[in-house]
Structure 1
Amino acid sequence: MFENVFWKGISGQVNKWRQETLGLPRTSLVKMQQSRVPFLYNVSPALFPPSVDFPDWVKVTGYWFLNEGSDEYEPPKELVDFLEEAKQNGEKVVYIGFGSIVVSDAKALTKTIVEAVLDSGVKCILNKGWSDKLSKSKDDIEVELPSQVYDSGMIPHDWLFTQIDAAVHHGGSGTTGATLRAGLPTIIKPFFGDQFFFASRVEDLGVGIALKNLNKKSFTKALKFITSQEKYAVKATEIAKAMSHERGVLSAVEAIYTELAYSRSLILVIRHNTEQKKSNDDKSGVQTPVIGEEDFDMINGLEDDEANEEQVREEHKGESKAKKYKADQKRVDGDIEDIKNQIGI
């Protein structure tokens, strides 16, 4: 229903662009749906299992991590000392960062966080990226950070999250993935969009808490709970173990190349039909039926159905085109192997 409503709002501009800019005929929602446009979700199946009603061209590949905290990364000495001191004292270390959200009172937010950290008895690595664009005063004094709080700035998550005990963040897709990968118990305070979805999923999985209100009382309680209840750490470790077997980048590459091979087969079929129709029309003046929109569903499984592939080759491509199809597929397989070698899989 939503797609139909949305399409009615944009169809005019889309078709105008197709006709005037691309030189293509008008299209419809039905045509686009039958064209099975590939769609990749770059999240972990452990967090977002594929729905049973997903068509086969919708894939949940796993995350596409950048691995910025490689062996070449050198953390600041002050941060290393901060972590070592907490370890020696048996103190829990929690990362707190809400990305680049815009808040009406950045000073009040920082004050709430500092007070909750002190009351909960943890140490905090603070990435204070939020801004106060709505503030009218430029003379506000920054909240003084106590020794229990380290103002980190930007630190690669894949390095930092392996050094600490829990994380608090806004529920962005990438940050959520990084905490799950590291096996970290997590508190999510969502602000908008898909952040609410990830907050509820983390809570449903038993690896964290979805924080509804960010005030001193509720935040202090959540910090104490997430760092003292072993069940969160146990479940987070299980999720991290499951994710360690995923190969998100490779899965995405394989999905893209599979769809490219499928697209080539469709192009050859449609091209053959067009040529055949033109040839027959020239000879008899009678229009020849061609594969149309209603036939696309039949073609959708060609790359997975050996019998259908052979039929398409024989009926629509001929022997020489069948050889080209095999050569294309062999090249695709070779490309995938090259990519595996390049990314060390």
Structure 2
Amino acid sequence: MIIAIFALGTQGDVQPYLALGSALIQQGHTVRLITHTNYQQQASALGFEVWPVEGNVQEVAESEEMRKLLQKGNMLEINRYTSRLMEEVVLGWARDSLNACEGADLLMAGMGGGSLARALSEKLNVPFIEAHVVPMTPTRAFPGVLLPAGGPRLGGTVNLLSHHLVQQVMWQSFRSADQKMRQSVLKLPAAPFFGPKPQKRHPQPPVLYGISPHVLPRPADWPSHIHMTGFWFLDAPSWQPPAELQNFLDSGPTPIYVGFGSMGNRDPEQTADLVLEALQTSGQRAVLLKGWGGMVRGDLPDFVHLSGSVPHSWLFPRMRAVVHHGGAGTTAAGLGAGVPSQVVPFFGDQPFWGNRVQMLGVGPAPIPRKNLTAQKLADSIQRMVSDVAMQQKAVTLGQVIQTENGPMDAVAIIEQHVAESAQLH
């Protein structure tokens, strides 16, 4: 099969689809990846046919306006800002994606690129499979994950309605750009006001979630075509650490990890000061990830190593605990490594994952970035490195997660669906 996967966003957004696509490639399928130029080299090395689209997501994340929005953590304002950016690039994305999908047998996407993939599916009459790493299907079990944290006790009916609210907020913010690309490039009628109609295909296309059911139990009210396969991890077995990093790991007690990924800070040096004070107070060594947030300082104490990008699958199992922003991919990596996690959420689904970590007993309560202080972080770090029960729960959960093979389970579901569809046609 020729499969086109849309993977747009930050490294954490894209990496699970690299894992899923790699599994498809291993099974002999051709995978075309529609993504930003940032990831072209990495994806090409994994065997993808890469179709880059306009825009550098790192530049957007590091922009002054986005830094201010991330600091506030207001999802609606962030949505409005990204919607304006989409208006500027959507025609180019549609043209490039139309070429990329020519001759494809199947289209796949999650939140990043989902609307674009759905419109192309309609244009080309090619099946589309939703593949998410954040739970988007409405359920009574928990509230919409992009809503502000704090509503798990609202009740089943309100939970269900909250998912539809989230879907509408996301759709309405993108509707203008969607109409623009449909009419100008794809020559399609505008989608209905409340969003594109569900696909009318038989058999029903599966909806895939790269989430472990041991971390988020599958809701009982989800229909049978919705699958939780386990996390989509991208292995890095041949990765070798820089000598400076390996020397730091070997030179003293096991450190912790602190990094906020692509979440920018208006004042990265202030963030670094806060983290260093917390480490000194707690008496811990740490690998501090520079990340896109730019936590850079001139002279660092010897109990800290400032690192560039390192595969989480390699680094996290070598840590005592991990402190991070709570993105879906980073959270999965921390849980899979079997170490306690402190989530410091900025916005979006990050508070949801922080609450899951706490409910599972494998980390303290999330500390929203805007409420983070050196003392709070120091107390959290001290708890993670001293709480034996928390550490054991983290180890046990990590062992269970490591028995799963989310990408290959997803591939089996995809292949079964395609085979069933072929029999009917």
TM-score by length of 2: 0.54
In 1, the alpha carbon distance for the partners of 2:183 and 2:319 equals: 52
1:76 aligns with 2:231: no
1:110 aligns with 2:272: yes
Selected match of 2:227 from 30, 39, 59: 59
In 1, the alpha carbon distance for the partners of 2:377 and 2:208 equals: 35
The Cα shift of 1:111 comes to: 0.3
In 2, the alpha carbon distance for the partners of 1:7 and 1:191 equals: 18
Which residues in structure 2 correspond to 1:46-195 (within 5 Å)? 46-68=214-236, 70=237, 72-87=238-253, 92-131=254-293, 142=297, 144-195=299-350
Q: Deviations over 1:68-98 (max 9, x none)?
A: 2x1x3222222222222223xxxx4101000
Give the structure 1 partner of residue 367 of structure 2. Answer: 211
Give aligned pairs, total.
Answer: 254
Percentage identity across paired residues of the two chains? 34
1:44 aligns with 2:206: no
In 1, the alpha carbon distance for the partners of 2:181 and 2:306 equals: 52
More deviation, 191-200/205-214: 205-214
Give the structure 2 partner of residue 245 of structure 1. Answer: 403
The Cα shift of 1:110 comes to: 0.4
In 2, the alpha carbon distance for the partners of 1:201 and 1:67 equals: 24
Give the structure 2 partner of residue 264 of structure 1. Answer: 422
Which amino acid is the alignment partner of residue 112 of structure 1? L
1:201 aligns with 2:359: no
The Cα shift of 1:26 comes to: 8.1
Q: Deviations over 1:245-267 (max 9, x none)?
A: 2111111111112222343355x
Give the structure 2 partner of residue 328 of structure 1. Answer: none
More deviation, 191-200/2-11: 2-11
Whether the 8 Å CA contact 2:182–2:190 is kept in 1: the answer is no
Which amino acid is the alignment partner of residue 228 of structure 1? S
The Cα shift of 1:48 comes to: 1.6
Q: From the CA coordinates, give the structure whose radius of gyration is larger.
A: 1
In 1, the alpha carbon distance for the partners of 2:406 and 2:360 equals: 20
Identify, as 1 or 2, the structure richer in helix.
Answer: 1
In 1, the alpha carbon distance for the partners of 2:276 and 2:220 equals: 45
Q: Deviations over 1:47-81 (max 9, x none)?
A: 1221111111111111121112x1x3222222222
In 1, the alpha carbon distance for the partners of 2:265 and 2:180 equals: 40
**Structure 1: runs of 5+ lacking an equivalent:** 134-140, 269-345
The Cα shift of 1:132 comes to: 6.3
In 2, the alpha carbon distance for the partners of 1:229 and 1:155 equals: 27
